[in-house]
Every structure is written in structure tokens, then in C-alpha cells.
Structure 1
Amino acid sequence: MTGAENPTQRNRRRLEDAAARILAGNATVSDGKLTLKSLATEAGVPRNYLYRSEYVAIAEDFERRADALRQSEQTPDRREAQIQRLQADLGEATRLARRYREERENARAERNQAASQIVFLAEQNRLLREELEAERSVTRLDSASARNRALSPDSASR
């Protein structure tokens, strides 16, 4: 097993990542409380793993850092962190909505301008077709009389 993470290493990494999230107030799976139960839940491992020799150091470090947070009265409040994340998300959604409204208005203006151009060009096309039809219905007298002379039976006998 070269390069692959063994189960102990994977659980150690999960516990360390979960401890960092909980201590920062960014718990995603657990209730975010500063307890070993929350740590195990956040890491996705059974709670009894925290009492195994390979993970005891992580559990003790977590408890020490959690106690320090409690004593300094800077305990991360999961709800407060969630409110802050939601406010940031709302700000981003509001910004996107504003941008989309502007894009929509620009597209409507372009559509209206294109529709006006289409109406103008259709009218120009109609006028040109009428002019063309008027030109086709006019017969030139000099060419018509020459044609009639060439086709008449009298001209063949002359």
C-alpha cells in the first residue's frame, strides 16, 4: 500500500479536520458543541475511537483548546457563524440578482431596437417591391413597336 492512506491515518486526518472546524465555529455535520461527542460526529467516526491510543492525543488537544475557548469566553457560536455565512450568501445572491436584472434590461433594450430595425427594413422592402412591380408593368413604346413589326406577317413579305 504505497501512497494510499491507511484507516488510522484517514481517521486521524478526519478528527483533526473536524476539530479545526468545530473550534472555528464552522461545524458542518455535528451540533458544533465543544464536546468529544460532537468531535466524533463531525469526523464521522465512532466516539469510542477517541479513547484509542492512536487518537487520544487528538482528543486531549481538542479538549484543551475547547477549555481555553470556554475560559476566554470566545466560544464559537454555531448559530452566529451560520448567520454570518447566510448573510454573506444573501449578499452574493443580491449582487447576482442585481446583475441579472441589468442583463435582462439590456437584452430587452436590444430586442426592442432590433424589432424597430426589422419593422423599418420590412417597410423599405415593401416599398422597393412596389417600385420594382411598377417598373415591370411599364412597356417601352420603341421596343414594343419594333417587336410588333418583326412579328407581323406583312413585314415578312416586304
Structure 2
Amino acid sequence: MTTTTSQLSGSPVQLAAAIGSVLTGTTAAAQEKAEIRAITDAMIRLLAGAPLRSDGKLTIKSLAAEAGLRRNKLTHKHTGLRDLFYALVRAQAGRPAIADRLHHDNGALRAGSGERTVPPRRHRSPDCPGVPRHAELSRTFS
């Protein structure tokens, strides 16, 4: 099976899909084909920002969790796929979509929080029973 240049151009997700289909078409054993397919499918989900079984980080640990394999399958057996994953992560223009959404939501929450609803203890009024003011505490322990 030959791969054309048009199959290998495009986004990192398309690249992972094309390479996965090429690698599973080889004469490898059935178990190895299943591992390769699981790894490339996991790459596609992570790079697209739609993880199913992991935290969505673009790391080998997350890739292994997403593929449902032990990490040593990527670090010792399928080193080419590991290197491909790192290359695709570097080639990706920015963060995955899920990270962008989380970053945006975090910023919106921080901006919307404004004033604290409950002031810190040392600033509470003296009429709050059982909670001494900061100045009273410092006199007590001096």
C-alpha cells in the first residue's frame, strides 16, 4: 500500500488518520494491528480535543490512557508512533480545542468573580460573634 503526498498533507488529525490506515495495512500480527489502530485513534481524539478516556493533555501518558494501553507500549514497542505523536503535537498550531475552551471558561470565571462574597477573617466586623479582628489577635499573642 503506497501513500500519496495528498494523503499526508493537512491537519495533524488527518495525518494521524492517514498514517494509522497505512500502518494497519501492513503484514503485522493481528494484536499489533489492534494496538496501532488504538494508538492512532487515540492520537486523533487527543489532537482534535475530544478525549474519551484521559485528561486530554498532549502527553505520552495521556495517549497511552486514551488508547487503553500501558505506557511502555509507546515508550518501548511503538517508538515510531510516539515520535509521530510528538511531531504532530509540535506541528499543531496551538492548544487543542478542549484546552482553549477551558482557558476561556477560566478567564470568564476569574473576570466575573469581582469582589469576594465573604471577606477574609481578619477583616470581619467586631459584631461577628466568636471571630476576633486581626488587631485583637495580635495584641493577644504579643
TM-score (norm 1): 0.43
**Greater helix proportion:** 1
TM-score (norm 2): 0.47
